[in-house]
Structure 1
Amino acid sequence: MKGIRALARHLDISIGTVSRALNGRPDVNPETRARVMEAARALGYTPNQSGRSLRQGVTNTIGFMIEMSPDANASSDDFFMGVFEGVQTVLTRHKLDLVVFPCPAQENSVDYLARIVRRGLVDAMIISATRRRDDRVEYLDKAHIPFIALGRSDSGPNMRWVDLDFEGVAKSSVERLVAQGHRRIALAIPADDINLGHVFHDAYRATLEAQGLAYDPALVFHAQRVLEGGYDLAAAVTSLPDRPTAILLSSEVLSLSLYRGLQERGIRAGRDLAVIGFRNNPRARFLTPSLTCHSVSLSELGQTLAETLLAGMPAYAALYPERDRNLIWPMELVKGESDDFVFADAGTTG
């Protein structure tokens, strides 16, 4: 990998000109900037992080903010640990470190984020659990802090984000259930205002209507994203006088206690109620019948998240020139036994 001095010698221009071009300074001729960027890519240019730290006051640290809940221990799984591993894999290439900032449930998330920024703890931020209207996005925009979101938001239309393919999961799941004869398909989405719930719901409704089925708001359940949420969901679903024959979950943690709640009420998952889970949570492997759900490579997701962030930072942009600002991350259906039957009589509710 080449440093800035080798890059300047290769181009036969001054180190100062190369530095200004790499950092996006406006006083560099566009043709010169293009030459510098092309040479940086070809030669594998890597910034001298220690020198940059001394000159510019950077921390060489990327922050990852997650929002905690009172039931975090009960509902935690491997999702963020897998993403963190992928992010750090990329940051290690550039001698950057990842620091996780867990925002307590009782604290305002913008106040928490502002404290991190004011103290100069990081060079850039990754935020998660985005809301349809997210004040954190607007704050980071105004503070001119490089950032990326794990999740979309209507705030900050020009922001960088990577999000799971909630639309694809909802569409393929509803189509699969309809093909098996189901006509009353329920949906469980988060009880809070996280944007994934809106995205999932909108795709579920659109797919029902595309399949010629009426949308019934009584079949949409708002569940807490905690381990007990699935147990409460089972009670709500089975209390309907005309209960659904299938249910689609937008959170993997719900499936773990949903099975137990259904069993206690004499309802058999995969026979009396078809269930399609969201992500293939490792603990779901022990469910019987096996859960139909969706897989995702968390490490690769984290790597893409980090590379997309760095592509928006002047010191690293030349290394990731083809990275899109926004990306929907694919998920693949994993067939289990929880929905593996044909519901022959759509009028029967059991």
Structure 2
Amino acid sequence: MGDSDHKGARTTVRTITDLARLAGVSPGTVSRALAGKSLVNAQTREKIVALAREHGFRPNQMASGLRRQKTGVIGVVIPLGHDIRQQISDSFFMTLLGFLADELTHEGYDLMLRRVVPDSDEDWLDRFIGSGMIDGVIVIGQSDQFERIEEVAESYTPMVVWGNHQEGQRHCVVGTDNRLGGRLAVEQLIAGGAKRIAFLGDTGPMEFAARFAGAQDVAARLGVAPVMPLATHLSPDRAGEEIAGHLAAHLRAQGGRDIDGIFAATDTLAALCLTELRAQGLSVPGDVRLVGFDDLPIARQTVPPLTTVRQDIAAGARGLVDLLLRRLAGETTESLVLPPELVLRETA
């Protein structure tokens, strides 16, 4: 049938998904071929480029087509490549989503939410933005998908990402200076007397890696032992058990404690850690000092209240929506990096 149906009507190609269907490949392959990526073999790339030329399709046509359609919907997607069992009900996601919904509603947009596991869905972002159902997209977290987001940003402009900023990156980011936040957390632990500090979390995702790097900066500068990484998942069904194991190994091991300060990658992990410390008969901040990250509502509700590094999630949501609307209007925007703030309470 080629590119016509049985009546000879010409196939309409408005999106990358349309072109992918015509070429018999995935939307991701089309995106990479049009961007000139060497990952696509020459024969396939030539076929896709020829079809795009034949149908008058340009890489940025997808964005302009969506603007013409004006669906009134903004896509919000959460990629969980780093921890596939993490839930959208996570307190951080729910807090940010609440602020985003408020901002988008105020601007006259509806929100379409998707949770994706990239390992089983390589073209998760291409298919979403090429669906024709959204005017633009907000990605919450880079997870382990930095390169995929970078590739899409080459040809799709109405996209803004909550995450960590790196010099030279193409995609537009709103997020906190995570490295500085890590420094603030460990400076406070050391100021309170901690000398053997652990980082509770996964150092793989970009935001957490930056927080851990900031913690190591301060440990090296102030002459204490390097911060010890304690790998911990974010999914609640695993995190509690893993934290209990870490504490048993490092705080109850025969021969004494080798940790007197803990910097948790999130407030949720810090709250779980606080519960487990109490269960093991250890006091905070008497036996162990503890600092979280985010300043979620739970940080004020723990016993004792949690010392944490605040990232302004409400300002972040406003920034995400503002930059996305400006990009939909054709502007080129810079990333927005928000300053973190240490919030002193009672755990450190």
> What is the TM-score normalised by the length of structure 1?
0.69
Q: Runs of 5+ in structure 1 lacking a partner?
A: 1-51, 340-350
Deviation of 1:90 (Å) = 4.1
Deviation of 1:272 (Å) = 0.7
> Is 1:119 paired with 2:131?
yes
**Aligned AA for 2:347?**
S
Measure, in 1, the Cα distance between the counterparts of 2:172 and 2:225.
36
Query: In structure 2, what is the equivalent of residue 264 of structure 1?
Result: 279
Compared CA separation, residues 283 and 144, structure 1 to 2 (3 A): closer
Compared CA separation, residues 96 and 208, structure 1 to 2 (3 A): same
In the alignment, which of 300, 311, 314 is matched to residue 315 of structure 2?
300
Contact 2:66 2:134 in 1 (8 A): no
The aligned runs of 1:229-240 (5 Å cut-off) are 229-240=239-250
Q: SS at 2:120's partner residue?
A: coil
**Aligned AA for 1:76?**
D
> Is 1:220 paired with 2:229?
yes
> Is 1:148 paired with 2:160?
yes
Measure, in 2, the Cα distance between the counterparts of 1:88 and 1:53.
24
Deviation of 1:142 (Å) = 4.2
Deviations 1:197-246 (A, max 9, x none): 21111111111111122425xx2111111334144224213413542101
Query: In structure 1, what is the equivalent of residue 221 of structure 2?
Result: 210
The aligned runs of 1:161-310 (5 Å cut-off) are 161-190=173-202, 193-215=204-226, 219-227=228-236, 228-240=238-250, 242-310=257-325
Deviation of 1:314 (Å) = 3.1
In the alignment, which of 77, 90, 97 is matched to residue 76 of structure 1?
90
Deviation of 1:100 (Å) = 1.4
Query: In structure 2, what is the equivalent of residue 325 of structure 1?
Result: 334
**Aligned AA for 2:246?**
A
**Aligned AA for 1:150?**
W
**Aligned AA for 1:59?**
T
Q: SS at 2:115's partner residue?
A: strand
Compared CA separation, residues 212 and 152, structure 1 to 2 (3 A): same
Deviations 1:68-99 (A, max 9, x none): 543527x622x334333433444445533322
Q: SS at 1:223's partner residue?
A: coil
Deviation of 1:280 (Å) = 2.4
Deviation of 1:105 (Å) = 7.2
Deviation of 1:313 (Å) = 2.7
Measure, in 2, the Cα distance between the counterparts of 1:94 and 1:335.
35
Compared CA separation, residues 81 and 103, structure 1 to 2 (3 A): same
Contact 1:294 1:334 in 2 (8 A): yes
Q: SS at 1:253's partner residue?
A: helix
Query: In structure 1, what is the equivalent of residue 150 of structure 2?
Result: 138
Contact 2:175 2:316 in 1 (8 A): no
Deviations 1:22-66 (A, max 9, x none): xxxxxxxxxxxxxxxxxxxxxxxxxxxxxx999923423221101
Measure, in 2, the Cα distance between the counterparts of 1:161 and 1:59.
24
Compared CA separation, residues 57 and 105, structure 1 to 2 (3 A): closer
Contact 2:293 2:308 in 1 (8 A): yes
Measure, in 2, the Cα distance between the counterparts of 1:263 and 1:55.
54
Query: In structure 2, what is the equivalent of residue 87 of structure 1?
Result: 100
Q: SS at 2:134's partner residue?
A: coil
Measure, in 1, the Cα distance between the counterparts of 2:337 and 2:165.
13
Measure, in 1, the Cα distance between the counterparts of 2:244 and 2:327.
44
Q: SS at 2:160's partner residue?
A: strand
Deviation of 1:306 (Å) = 0.9
Q: SS at 2:327's partner residue?
A: coil
Compared CA separation, residues 67 and 98, structure 1 to 2 (3 A): same
Measure, in 1, the Cα distance between the counterparts of 2:136 and 2:249.
48
Compared CA separation, residues 53 and 114, structure 1 to 2 (3 A): closer
